[in-house]
Amino acid sequence: MVNETVFTIMAKKPQRGKTKTRLCPALSQQEAVALYEALLLDTITLVADLRWADLTIAITPPESGRYFESVTPDGTLLLPVEGKDIGECLAQVMDTLLGMGYRKALALNSDGPSLPPEYLVQAARYLDDKDIVLGPGHDGGYYLVGMSCPHPEIFDDIDWSTERVLSQTLERARILGLRAALTPQWYDVDTPGDLARLQADLKHLSPDNLIHCRKFLAVNKLNFQPD
């Protein structure tokens, strides 16, 4: 532990037929795998560039450690997680990281690397006087969750993978008496429209940003329309 704050990226090993299926058939299964890996690698870079926070990766399936060792910076802590849903995995991650002595633990999706870094700064600062911070997604979920004390019950009774995730989580926080804060809304790349938005965003970012996504798009000539 180098810093008091840690970010963990919730990541799955890319697999044909299981990765970014909502982008198929607009993409082939192999293209979907390649895109997800590009998103993952650029998300890792996003967090690794935060010198004031440590980087960990929560990996699924648990036996995929060798793959993640090959794509992460040397010394990155890998946390194998397994559960019936993302809520159980998030609860495991928060309990583990806060139990290690971190003062602030934040979990981040692996497929939204165009997220402005200042949103991550803001999220960590909110935890100075809030119990939980959430980053609203454009689809009714959230791209980020953070806390300074374990609250596994915040992940109970949530209809995961629906547009109700954020609203239900905020209601759980209210019932539990937790002080919640929200960062600005952002998006994950799940649909052809999301990929079109990423392409548009890249035009306004430095060429040094999101280099893996840029390489994917340069090789695969795609022309999608935003949702």
Read off the pLDDT of residues 191-222 as tens digits, 9 standing for 90 and up: 999 999 999 999 999 999 999 999 999 888 76
| pLDDT tens digits, 65-80 | 999 999 999 989 999 9
The mean of the pLDDT values for the chain is 94
pLDDT digits over 81-117, tens only? 999 999 999 999 999 999 999 999 999 999 999 999 9
Burial class (CB in 10 A: 0-12, 13-18, 19+), 195: buried
What pLDDT, on a 0 to 100 scale, did the predictor assign at position 226?
60
Give me the pLDDT at residue 17, please. 87
Q: Could you tell me how far CA 9 lies from the centroid of its own chain?
A: 5
For 5-188, which CATH class?
alpha beta
Q: 72, 7 in Cβ contact below 8 A?
A: no
- Closest Cα partner for 158 from 95, 58, 86? 86
Q: Where are the domains of the chain?
A: 5-188
